[in-house]
Amino acid sequence: MYNFDIEKPTTVADAVQALGADEAQPLSGGQTLIPTLKARLAAPSKLVSLAGIDEMKGICMDDEGRLCIGGATTHATVMREAEAHYPALASLAARIGDPAVRNRGTIGGSLANNDPSACYPAGALASGATIVTNTREIAADDYFQGMFTTALEEGELVTEVKFPVPQAAHYEKMIQPASRFPLVAAFVAKFSDGVRVAITGASNDGVFRWTQAEEALSNTFSAEALEGMQADGDMIADLHGSAEYRAHLTGVMTRRAVAAIA
C-alpha cells in the first residue's frame, strides 16, 4: 500500500472541503477500498474518513413513509434497525459479506462503489430509492450508470438514501462462497402501482431492471408468470459461471423471490 494522510471530519461540510484536495478520496467502511489500496489499484494522497460524521448515520422514517438511511450507516445497523420498517432490505443487509464486514461496511460506500455484484444496488434500484448527496437528490433509475460507474461527481458524497417501502419484497441471492458476493441475485419489490425487479451480479453493465419480468409480474404476480423467462443482456462470464449460467440464474432467482412473497 502506498502511503497517504487520513482526515477525520465530523461534518459533511468539512468532509466536502477536505475532498477538494488533489487526489483525495472518501473512506467509508473501507471493506472494498482497503483491499483495493493494498493491491495498489488506487493511490490517493489523502483519505477522508466519513465514519465520524454523525449526521450521515442512522435510520428513520420520513413524512412520506420512506425509510431513510444515512450514507455512513453500517450494514449491521441496517440489519437490526430496518427490520421493523422494511424487512426485505434488512435481510439484504444481513447477508452482505460476513458479520465483521457488516460491522464496518456502509450503504453509502456500497452505492458509491457500484460493484456489479454488490447487494445494495439491487435493493436501491428495485425500491426506486432516491440517492441523496451533499448537493442534490438522484433517482436510482438515473444513478446507476454501469459497472463501478454512477452519477456521482468527483467529491460528491452519498449522505442519505430514501427507500419507498413496497407492499412486499424479497431479495434472493445465489451466493458465490469465496467472495460472499452474489453470483446472481434478484430483488423483487411489489408496489400498489406495479412491480420492480432489479438484478445484480449478472451483467457487464452492472445492476439493471429486468423490465420484461416487471411487466409480467405487474400483470400476474406469480412465479409461473415468469416460466421459461430469463433476462437478456451482456452477461458476465468468469471462472465462477458462464454468461449462459448467469442468464439462467436471473430467471431462477427472480422466480424464487416471487415465490417467497406470493
Partner 1 sequence: MTQVSMTVNGKAASGEVEGRTLLVQFLREDMGLTGTHVGCDTSQCGACVVHVNGEAVKACTMFAIEADGAEVATIEGQANADGSLNVIQQAFQDHHGLQCGFCTPGMVMSAAALLKDNPKPTEAEVRHYLDGNICRCTGYHNIVKAIMAASGQDVAALAAE
- Per CB under 8 A, residues contacting partner 1 are 1-6, 8, 27, 30-31, 34-35, 37-38, 47, 49, 51, 76, 97-101, 103-104, 178-180
Burial zone of 185 (CB within 10 Å; 0-12 exposed, 13-18 middle, 19+ buried): buried
Q: Please report how close the Cβ of residue 199 comes to partner 1 at its closest, in angstroms.
A: 23
In angstroms, give the least distance from the CB of 135 to partner 1. Answer: 26
CB 91 within 8 A of CB 55: no
Distance (Å, whole) CA 113 – CA 155? 13
* Residue placing its CB nearer to partner 1 in the complex, 1 or 139: 1
Residues 6+ positions from 217 with CB-CB distance below 8 Å? 188, 190, 195, 197, 225, 226, 258
Q: Which runs of consecutive H residues, i.e. helices, occur in 114-167?
A: 120-127, 140-143
Query: Which lies closer to partner 1 via its Cβ, residue 3 or residue 192?
Result: 3
- Of 48 and 129, CB closest to partner 1: 48
- Rg of the chain over CA atoms, in angstroms? 18
CB of 8 to partner 1, least distance (A): 7
CB 46, min distance to partner 1, A: 8
Q: Which residue, 118 or 124, is less far from partner 1 as judged by CB?
A: 118
The residue ranges of DSSP E strands in the chain, in sequence order, are: 5-7, 24-27, 46-49, 59-61, 67-70, 130-133, 137-139, 158-163, 168-175, 182-191, 194-200, 208-209
> Rounded to the nearest whole angstrom, what is the least distance from the CB of residue 27 to partner 1 in the complex?
8
- For partner 1, the closer of residues 19 and 225 by Cβ is 19
